[in-house]
Amino acid sequence: MKIKIINKSNHQLPHYETIASAGMDLRANLSEPRTLKPLERSIVGTGLFIELPIGYEAQVRPRSGLAAKKGITVLNAPGTIDADYRGEIGVILVNLSNEEFTIESGERIAQLVIAKHERADWVQVEELSETDRGEGGFGSTGVK
């Protein structure tokens, strides 16, 4: 699949690191380093603008290494970029650690996954079909 992209950063385009990678790393595009204090959040620009085909979305997800090692994650994970959005891709980062974290321009801050999606048509009814689970909610399918 080919996707149109404008790169206004000084960094390389996102790319797949391996043949089996689902996501591509997004890099921070900053004029100067930005420090996140513990529990602080910030929208970090990437300098990237994309045009997705209708029926697809781009999901902005955390990088597992950054989350595990530094406590930095994407606040609204996964963030969704709709096919009709033409603005800059921004990443809402949050620092969940007890230490300050400085983001440098060019640093890999998130990953982008392109995904096909369906649109639903609601059919309003008076009742739903029966299942073994029924109305069992959170944790209801675990071992008893």
Q: Binding site for substrate: residue ranges?
A: 63-65, 76, 80-82
Maximum CA extent, the chain:
57
Contact 73, 32 (CB under 8 A): no
Beta bridge partners of 128: none
Question: What b-and-e string marks burial along 69-84, b requiring 16 or more CB atoms within 10 Å of the CB?
Answer: eebbbbeeebbebeee
What is the β-pairing status of strands 79-81 and 41-45? unpaired
CA 68 to chain centre: 16
Total Cβ atoms within 10 A of residue 125: 7
Q: Which amino acids are annotated as binding site, given as ranges?
A: 63-65, 76, 80-82
